[in-house]
Amino acid sequence: HASGRNVIERIFGVLKRRYGILDRPSEFDMDVQAQIPAGLVGVHNFIREHDPQEILDFKDILDDVPAIDGYGDLAEGPPTQAEQRHAEATRDHIAQAMWEDYQAHIGDM
């Protein structure tokens, strides 16, 4: 949990620095406000895909939250394709285990 929290804190730090709207009270109605973070994350991911080194502009934020056992260390730059494949495989494994646990749980009811 600590390593996940570390990664999330780093992500929010980068997003809040890049997009000031996340750091100020919004004047938009609630329906629009609910869509703003997802839209900004999409723009952020687009920038990361087309300018992978740009994340280094946020090194000061990335350094503010210490890495825990090497997890969440975004200061090294974007992940490699091998790291992405590993993360996707891990995510899929966790999702499958959760699905199996859920199926077992509803089977016990």
How much is the pLDDT for 93? 92
Distance CA 21, CA 29 (A): 14
Distance CA 87, CA 25 (A): 34
How much is the pLDDT for 69? 45
Q: Would the pTM of this model clear 0.75, i.e. be above it?
A: no
For the chain, give me the number of helices (H) and strands (E)? 4, 0
Q: Which residue has the higher pLDDT, 90 or 10?
A: 90
Give the tens place of pLDDT for each residue, 96-106: 999 999 999 98
Q: Is the pLDDT of residue 21 over 60?
A: yes
Provide the CB-side half-sphere exposure for 80 (13 A, CA). Answer: 4
Q: Is the pLDDT of residue 45 over 80?
A: yes
How much is the pLDDT for 99? 93
DSSP structure class, residue 1:
-
